[in-house]
């Protein structure tokens, strides 16, 4: 396993991204690395964690970050919430990862056939706390309505970008790390059918 050096920040973000994309390639090709014995892995991690990337992903059971990036325990700091949105508790978790674990990369991962996006697009009244999710996704839906193509897929992609931009701008911890070049925040999109993760263009 490559040891990451947090002093060379840009390189560190790039190495982290490379590790994720190489892992995804292994997953797509069903050539995952043989996993370490879990009892040995647990003991090795007793001294602490040193994950190399934050994944903000959807709770959808078909999008498990450790599997789709072929990573083991201790390697990814995962925050999952339906629609991969960034409310205050999610932001607090990500800030912890950046401030205390010095993680150089945050990937915001949308996906095809997202139920949270589909429910928002349907526009029906939602019970309980579900409107909170829909309200967070609504700005992406509004943008996507102006585009050609699949509304649900476009909304999920725009949502990943908007969430990524929101995280980048959130101060003081994250915005200053982004400005100083020690942290990259990137949107990405997972396809349920192929298992592939594509990086989306970051507009900020
Ligand atoms: Zn989803």
Q: Is residue 3 situated within a structural domain?
A: no
Q: Is residue 159 situated within a structural domain?
A: yes
Question: The domain that contains 175 carries what CATH number?
Answer: 3.40.1050.10
DSSP string of 36-69, one letter each residue:
PPHHHHHHHGGG----SEEEEE---TT--HHHHT
Q: 99 alpha carbon to ligand 1 midpoint, in Å?
A: 27
pTM here is 0.93
Q: 71 alpha carbon to ligand 1 midpoint, in Å?
A: 21
Q: Is residue 2 situated within a structural domain?
A: no
CB-based contact 202:187 (threshold 8 Å): yes
Q: 204 alpha carbon to ligand 1 midpoint, in Å?
A: 24
CB-based contact 196:115 (threshold 8 Å): no
Q: 142 alpha carbon to ligand 1 midpoint, in Å?
A: 18
Q: Is residue 4 situated within a structural domain?
A: no
Q: 138 alpha carbon to ligand 1 midpoint, in Å?
A: 14
* Distance in angstroms (rounded) separating the CA atoms of residues 30 and 62: 16
Q: Is residue 114 situated within a structural domain?
A: yes
Q: 154 alpha carbon to ligand 1 midpoint, in Å?
A: 13
Q: 45 alpha carbon to ligand 1 midpoint, in Å?
A: 30
Terminal-residue alpha carbon distance, the chain:
31
pLDDT tens track for 25-73: 999 999 999 988 999 999 999 999 999 999 999 999 999 999 999 999 9
How many domains, in total, are found in the chain?
A: 1
* Sign of torsion over alpha carbons 63, 134, 140, 13: negative
pLDDT tens track for 143-196: 999 999 999 999 999 999 999 999 999 999 999 999 999 999 999 999 999 999
Q: 3 alpha carbon to ligand 1 midpoint, in Å?
A: 32
Output Rg (C-alpha) for the chain, integer angstroms.
17
Range of the domain at 91: 9-199
């Amino acid at each position: 396993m490559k040891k990451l050096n947090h002093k060379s920040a840009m390189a560190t973000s790039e190495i982290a991204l490379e590790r994720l994309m190489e892992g995804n390639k292994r997953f797509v090709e069903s050539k995952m690395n043989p996993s370490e014995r879990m009892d040995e892995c647990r003991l090795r991690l007793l001294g602490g964690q040193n994950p190399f990337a934050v994944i903000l992903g959807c709770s959808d059971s078909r999008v498990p970050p450790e599997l789709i990036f072929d990573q083991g325990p201790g390697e990814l700091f995962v925050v999952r919430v339906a629609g991969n949105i960034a409310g205050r508790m999610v932001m607090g978790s990500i800030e912890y990862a950046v401030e205390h674990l010095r993680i150089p990369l945050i990937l915001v991962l949308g996906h095809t056939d997202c139920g949270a996006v589909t429910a928002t697009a349907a526009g029906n009244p939602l019970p309980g706390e579900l409107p909170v999710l829909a309200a967070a996704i609504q700005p992406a839906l509004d943008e996507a309505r102006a585009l050609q193509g699949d509304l649900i897929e476009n909304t999920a992609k725009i949502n990943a970008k908007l969430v990524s931009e929101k995280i980048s701008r959130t101060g003081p911890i994250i915005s200053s790390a982004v400005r100083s070049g020690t942290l990259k925040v990137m949107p990405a999109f997972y396809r349920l059918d192929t298992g592939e993760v594509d990086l989306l263009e970051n507009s900020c």
